Chains A and B, each alone.
Chain A
Amino acid sequence: MERARADPSAFAELYRRYLPRVHAFAYRRTGAVEVAEDITSAAFERALRNLHTFTWQPGGFGPWLFRIVSNELTDHYRRTGRAVAPRSVEAALGLLPTAPRDPADEVGARDDVAQVLAAMDQLTPRYQQALSLRYLAGLTPDEAARAMGTSKATMAVVLHRATRALRRVVAAEDRS
């Protein structure tokens, strides 16, 4: 990290290491390759410009970077202002395996995942961040808490509430 502040090639190492995870996170959240690439580019650029503000933490560079990505995603959703975009629902279907065991299961599973991802858009940005950092970015609870800038206990509470809110949204959509 210290080298990366002064040496661009050192940052390139960080970039290569984290690019697949960042891209995957952005793709899982947005469901579109183009948007994921945009988010990834913006996040890395922002990280590079603000590298001087990074202070080393036990979690290291990862949580800090994923927090930037998460902020970019929040900004993206705020800009687009969409609640449930059919495109993302459609794209979210692509996350599912291509060879399901049973066609009926496949339809159900795809619908469920797409519905949950679409329902996430209706949560508050904080809840969205918590859920996506923990589950879509694949961070450990400790890393997710560092990325959110909270303690582990607070993160657990936020996650619990976010999951409950998500369940409510999904249930409401099921009823409607």
Chain B
Amino acid sequence: MNDDPRRQLEEAGRRPVPAPDPAFAERLEARLLAVAQTPSPSPEPAGPPPTRGQRRQWLALAGLTVAALVLAVALASGAPGGSPRSEPELAAPVNVKVALSDGTVLEIHDGLRLPEGAVVTVGDGGFARIGDTVLRPGDVATIEHGRVNVEHDQPVGAASGTSTATPRATPRATPKGTPAPNRTPRPTAEPTSKPPKPTNGPNRTPKPTATPTAPPATPAPTPSPTPTVEPTPSPSVPPPHLTWRPKLRAHANPAGNRVLVRWTPTRRAASYVLIVTRSRVGAAADPVYPGSRVFRQFETAPQKWIRFRVLDPVVEVRVMVVALGKHGNEVSRSRIAIVTTGGDVTGEGESPPPDVPPDSP
């Protein structure tokens, strides 16, 4: 390419081109005449597209219209984002029972407003609809926060399916009015032949949703009689104060031949790597991770000072701690502490507390 592309384009525009084939020109003219004589039922939108400004205006207008429509639909249907407090209505109920949370059984009719906490149970051959949710025989629907939470009846042994009209983060653990299948199969639990009693364990407090239309269910077989003994933390040992990043402290001993290091425990840290760089002349390069300068890996943050010896020619030591996660990933890292050896102690690390003996391990 020795020429400017623009010049090449100009040249291409000046080149002679073959004239259109006369047969093609005639055919096209005839077709255009035919098109012109046939009445078009609805004229197409303008041939040339609108200019950018017009397009932006139309896009903005369309966006506003869509947003208004979505808002209106959400408000009308009580969808998430709309008004969750609107009471859903029962539609086309057949063999359906509706009980309130206080045990009151409501009279069924089409359009029945379902208050908060109402439990809708569909019997054999029954059917109902709550909003867009269709209930089949055996389904139990609960109204929670204005939303319909449906549990489908499934054969015992199958996984219990819980579906909601609106997505929920976690399935309900509250027992429903119908005999619920085993929610969590427990290998150690004996098979219970008798109807299980609702046992309110110390850690499980199911909602007392009394449903007189069905026998009470239990969330799970009674757990083993051995009560869960929660370890009571000793009041004498305060929990370690976790920091977001290791707070590193480093200093040299008065003789200048040892460096003492410690750091604070860190959140989400499963282990720590202490990295040390020593310099004999002048400032050392920054500690490198990972590399051959890893001093040691620690399971926990040290309760005591960690010390290591520094040979005489070393004039400066830089240390850093990297907190690692469970999978060896880096969670956080400390600042770099610079310790000048040979008796002159400096560094970003805090000065050692007076009660710590510098030579303790």
Contact = CB atoms under 8 A, between A and B. Distances in A.
B46 interface: yes
Contacts of A68: 47-48
A135 B9 contact: yes
A6 to B, nearest CB: 10
B107 to A, nearest CB: 62
B13 A37 contact: no
A112 B3 contact: yes
A42 B223 CA distance: 77
A3 interface: no
Contact of B5 (A41, A49, A108, A170): A170
A135 B29 contact: no
A115 B48 CA distance: 29
Given A48-B32, A49-B43, A71 B15 contact: no
Contact of A113 (B12, B20, B28, B36): B12
B51 interface: yes
A116 B47 contact: no
Contacts of B13: 28, 135-138
Interface string A15-43: 11001100110011000010001001100
A52 interface: yes
A43 B35 CA distance: 13
B47 A117 contact: no
B47 A20 contact: no
B43 A135 contact: no
Contact of A71 (B5, B17, B21, B49): B49
Contacts of A138: 13
B18 A27 contact: yes
Interface string B44-70: 111111011000000000000000000
Given A15-B32, A96-B15, A135 B1 contact: no
A11 B32 contact: yes
B9 A136 contact: yes
A163 interface: yes
Interface in B267-311: none
A46 B32 CA distance: 10
Interface in B297-345: none
A84 interface: no
10 contacts: A20-B20, A33-B21, A44-B28, A45-B35, A50-B44, A53-B45, A97-B16, A136-B9, A136-B13, A171-B1
Interface of A: 8, 11-12, 15-16, 19-20, 23-24, 27-28, 33, 37, 40-41, 44-50, 52-53, 64, 67-68, 71, 92, 95-97, 108-109, 112-113, 115-117, 119-120, 131, 135-138, 149-150, 163, 166-167, 170-171, 174
Q: What 5 A-B pairs come out closest when comparing CB atoms?
A: A8-B36, A50-B47, A135-B9, A53-B46, A23-B20
Interface of B: 1-6, 8-13, 15-21, 24-25, 28-29, 31-33, 35-37, 40, 43-49, 51-52
Given A11-B32, A12-B29, 12 more contacts: A8-B36, A15-B28, A15-B29, A23-B17, A41-B28, A48-B32, A50-B43, A95-B15, A136-B9, A149-B48, A150-B51, A166-B9
